[in-house]
Structure 1
Amino acid sequence: MNDRRIAFEALFTEHHAAVLRYVERRVDDREQARELTMDCFEIAWRRYDPGAPFSRPWLLQTARNLVGDSYRRRDREREGMQTLAAAADGPDTTFRNVDLRLALRHLPAADREILELFYWDGLAAPEIAEVVGCRTSAAWKRLSRARDALRSLLAEPRELHTRSAPTPSGTARQVGGGAMGYVMD
C-alpha cells in the first residue's frame, strides 16, 4: 500500500499542473476547474496500478470526460428550468428564470425535491417513488401538489418578491416590486 501511495504521489506531482491547466481552459469557473481536476485524480487513485501507471493522455481523457459531464449536467439543469417554467407558467406568457428560482426557494424542501427529481433528473413517477420511499400513486400526487404550489407562488409575485427592509431610521420600507428588486437587496 505504501509503495502504491508513493508512486501515485509522484504521478500527481508530475501531472497535476498540466491537468489543471487543461481543465481551466475548458471551464470558466476556477473553483470548478480545481474540483474537476481533483475528481480526475480521485478516479486515477481508485484505478491506479503501479505496474501500469497512467500517462498524461489518460489523465487528460479522464478530465475531458469529467468536463463533458459537467456541461451536460449544467445543460440538463437549464433544460429542467425551462421545462418547469413552461409547465408552471403556461405556454403563452414570458417567464424569467429568476422568478422560478425564487419561487423554488419558497417551496417546502419535499416539494422542491419532487420537482427536481422529475424535471432536472428526468425520473418517472415509479423512480421518484423509489427515491423518496413512497408508492407510485403518492409520487404522482406529490408531484401534482408541488406543481400547484409552484404555480400559486408564481401567480402572486408581489408576495414572493416584496419584503420590508429597514431604513437607517429603523422604520420599514417596501423594497422591490419584482424579482430584481429582491435579488439586488
Structure 2
Amino acid sequence: MNDQAARERFEALWAEHHRAVHAFVLRRIDDRDAAADVTSETFLVAWRRLEHLPEPSLPWLLGVARKTVANARRGSGRAQALIARLEREPDERFARDPASPDDDDRATERVMAAFNRLSESDRDVLSLIVWDGLAPREAAAVLGIAAPRFSVRLHRAKQRLRQLLDHPSDPADAPPGDSASAPPVMETR
C-alpha cells in the first residue's frame, strides 16, 4: 500500500470509528486527558497495523482500546481511585430532585445502582452490547473470547442484573415503599 492510500484508509478509519472508540474509553477512564491519550494510542496501533486490520475494524479497535486501558490502569492505579470515588460520590446525572420525583428517574437510578454493583466483567459485557451497540460476535472479539463463551457471559450478566433489580440488598436501591428486608443477593458464577 502506498503512502497516499495508507493515509486515506487511516483517515477513513479515524472518521468512522474515532467517536465510538473515544466513548468506549471514556466509560472506562474518568480522566478526559487520559482517555484522549488511550484513544490516540489505540489509533497509533491501528496505523502501525493498517495493512492487517480486519473487517469490520471497530471490534478490533475496541479490543486494542480495552487492552490499552488495562495497561494504563495497571501503571497508575487509576482503577482503585475511580472505584473509591464512585463509592463515595453518587453519579450526579442520575440524582433525582426530591421535590419532583419522577418514575422514570427512579427506574433509571435503580438500574444504574444495580449495574454499578455488578462486577467489572459483567459491566463490560453488558456495556459492549447496550452502550457500544455491538453484536455479540463483535463484543466477543473486543474481549478476545469465542462468541459462544461471550453469549454465556452475557446471559449470566443479565441474570445477575435481573437478580439485583428483583432483590436489592441495599435499601437505597429499593423503590419507595419496598421493605428494607429484601432477600440477600446470591452470586452464581
Same fold (TM over 0.5): no
TM-score for the superposition, normalised by structure 1:
0.39
The structure in which a higher percent of residues are strand is 1
Instruction: Decide which structure has the larger Cα Rg and report it.
Output: 1
Using the size of structure 2 for normalisation, the TM-score is 0.38
